[in-house]
Amino acid sequence: MSSILNSKFRFIIYIVVGFVLIIVCALLTAATMPLIIDNFTYQGQGGYEGGGVLGMQLGIIGVILSVLIIEVLRTKTEEN
């Protein structure tokens, strides 16, 4: 795992994994939010579309946080 994080393809891996995470979050939220909350709307979008918008935003936040955490942990392990 550490060899992957130290490779020159690290950012390409982040992009691919991030894209997959955003799509998965969007699909899961789009499928579940309208079933959990009746008359679900988010940013003017109702139903599955609103769930997809919310899921994409949550996925983007998740990708940013995970990349930040991985980079901080990687630099801390390099210092030791």
DSSP string, 3-16: HHHTSTTHHHHHHH
The share of the chain scoring above pLDDT 90, in percent, equals: 39
Write the DSSP symbol of residue 45: E
Q: For 9-29, what is the mean pLDDT?
A: 90
Q: What is the pLDDT of residue 63?
A: 93
Q: For 23-28, what is the mean pLDDT?
A: 93
Asked if 59 contacts 25 with a C-beta cutoff of 8 angstroms, the reply is yes
Q: How many residues does the chain have?
A: 80
Task: Provide the b/e sequence for 31-60 (b: ≥16 CB within 10 Å).
Answer: eebbeeeeebebeeeeebbbbbbbbbbbbe
Q: For 30-58, what is the mean pLDDT?
A: 89
Q: For 40-57, what is the mean pLDDT?
A: 89
The answer to whether residue 1 scores a pLDDT higher than 60 is no
This prediction has a pTM of 0.79
